Structure 1
Amino acid sequence: MHAHDHHEHHGNDLTKAAQATLEKSGEQWTTMRERVFEALAGFDKPASAYDIAEAVSRAEGRRVAANSVYRILDLFVGANLARRVESANAYMANTHPDCLHDCIFLVCDNCGQTTHIDDDSITKTVRAAAKDMGFSPERPVIEVRGKCADCD
């Protein structure tokens, strides 16, 4: 597998890395964006905007609308702070927001656990195949569905 090493952030270090990445892109790191990011990072599986809105609402003690969370998540995906698992319409915090890759997800159909892997050789091949067909790939997302080691 042709992957490379990078530093994965966790906890408060992840939030700081996300903030730095977002601000570097010219966006502001607001209190609500921080709350949404912290809620997203707190899930151990991909979370929907509704899951995140519920978690933020509990933490804030007031109702936070899912459509507000969707807008923030779209910003996060565009800024490489989060990744969208297309087939589940759910999101995961990117633990290395300072490193841009196409997405390859291994999604367990049994428990929902999702693993993100980076393998630039695979996505390079997908991009080349798309270009050979006259297609301009913007954001390849590869999802492999099956069973994780715990469920197999």
Structure 2
Amino acid sequence: MAHEHHDTNGPAWNKAAETALTRAGEQWTAMRASIFDVLAGFDKPASAYDIADAVSKAQGRRVAPNSVYRILDLFVNANLARRVESANAYLANTHPDCIHDCIFLVCDQCGQTTHLDNDPITRSVRDAASGAGFRTARPVIEVRGTCAECDAAPVQVS
């Protein structure tokens, strides 16, 4: 069944994230809020190291990437973030109330990543896996290539 997504941003996004995390039985702590704010501020997938650096600068104290990884894993499990497997990087989920399998379009030139929800495609992947006797936990489909912006950019010759 198709439905409309209403991507959230700003304070509404933070509130949606807090609500989703507490509904998952977890606490919305100051550190988790800081990490979510930083993650939501990136326009491309960010690594735990990128996030740790940004949070460290904002707080004026060192935040360890291991701590960030733990929180990001929690965010992924609560549907607040998506993991781009091939880049070992994360995107904040703009609609944490909707559960979908991921399809990512990853630009090999600029790193921009677009998240698509296409339930018929991901359902087909789950069905094919099931037909092969495989029980899926979380299918992630990544398509590598060139985004429209990079494709339209003039080629620079040295």
TM-score > 0.5 by shorter chain: yes
Greater relative CO, 1 or 2 (CA 8 Å, sep 6+) = 1
Q: Tell me the CA shift for residue 3 of structure 1.
A: 5.2
Q: Tell me the CA shift for residue 4 of structure 1.
A: 3.2
Q: Following the alignment from structure 1 to structure 2, what is the Cα–Cα distance between the partners of residues 123 and 4?
A: 16
Identity of aligned residues (%): 72
Deviations 1:68-108 (CA, angstroms, capped at 9, x unpaired): 00000000000000000000000000000010100000000
Larger radius of gyration: 2
- Does residue 44 in structure 1 map to residue 65 in structure 2? no
Matched residue, 2:3: 4
SS at match of 1:92: strand
Which runs of 4 or more aligned residues in structure 1 lie more than 6 Å from their structure 2 counterparts after TM superposition?
A: none
Matched residue, 1:56: 55
SS at match of 2:5: coil
Q: Tell me the CA shift for residue 6 of structure 1.
A: 1.6
Q: Following the alignment from structure 1 to structure 2, what is the Cα–Cα distance between the partners of residues 55 and 74?
A: 18
Q: CA RMSD in A?
A: 0.9
Q: How does 1:129-140 map to 2 (within 5 A)?
A: 129-140=128-139
Q: Following the alignment from structure 2 to structure 1, what is the Cα–Cα distance between the partners of residues 72 and 103?
A: 19
Q: Is the 8 A contact 1:3 1:118 kept in 2?
A: no
Q: Following the alignment from structure 1 to structure 2, what is the Cα–Cα distance between the partners of residues 14 and 71?
A: 21
Q: Following the alignment from structure 2 to structure 1, what is the Cα–Cα distance between the partners of residues 2 and 70?
A: 31
- Does residue 151 in structure 1 map to residue 139 in structure 2? no
One-letter identity of the residue aligned with 1:140 = P
One-letter identity of the residue aligned with 2:58 = A
The number of aligned residues is 151
Q: Is the 8 A contact 1:4 1:118 kept in 2?
A: no
SS at match of 1:145: strand
Structure 1 unaligned runs (5+)? none
SS at match of 2:94: coil
The TM-score normalised by the length of structure 2 is 0.94
Structure 2 unaligned runs (5+)? 152-158
